[in-house]
Homo-oligomer: A and B are copies of this chain.
Amino acid sequence: MPLVYLTRRERFNAAHKLHREEWDDQKNLEVFGKCANPNWHGHNYTLWVTAKGEPDPITGYVLNLADLRDVVREKVTDKLDHRNLNLDVDFLKGIQPSTENLAVAIWEELVEEVKKLGGELHSIKVEETENNSVEYFGE
């Protein structure tokens, strides 16, 4: 049976900054550059969630994409959209909101949920700007 990879794109707009509280502004600026601006900045993030599985012989679906969309929104993007990634998001508490860490945290939110839908989570890709993105495969 063929193994097919299915990707859903969702988007969210959020504020964040990169900083360490134990460092002063000067050190934060040296390490994080303009991402350390104390008054925050923000992005239009794009998220691609890829699940894999064998298409159902009746429906032709690896899993129902509307279900995948709903679970991504409920567990992830509704919690991130128009929020502050440092302050407002339960599953990011204590996590430096770099794009790398964001992708790993989103993986953790979704890996079991995708199993419930009948697929297997393959990758999480997060684009912060048109020039910068990360991808995580769960390993």
Q: Which A positions have Cβ atoms within 8 angstroms of B?
A: 2-11, 13-16, 18, 20, 31-35, 37, 39-44, 50, 55, 58-62, 65-66, 69, 81-84, 87-88, 95-101, 103-104, 129-139
Contact = CB atoms under 8 A, between A and B. Distances in A.
| 10 tightest Cβ-Cβ pairs between the two chains A and B | A42-B42, A60-B98, A60-B96, A39-B84, A34-B82, A15-B40, A41-B82, A15-B15, A55-B100, A44-B44
6 contacts: A4-B136, A8-B132, A13-B43, A20-B58, A34-B81, A69-B131
Contacts of A88: 37, 39
B132 A9 contact: yes
A131 to B, nearest CB: 4
A98 B59 contact: yes
A69 B131 CA distance: 10
A16 to B, nearest CB: 7
A81 B33 CA distance: 12
A95 to B, nearest CB: 8
A111 to B, nearest CB: 12
A82 B138 CA distance: 30
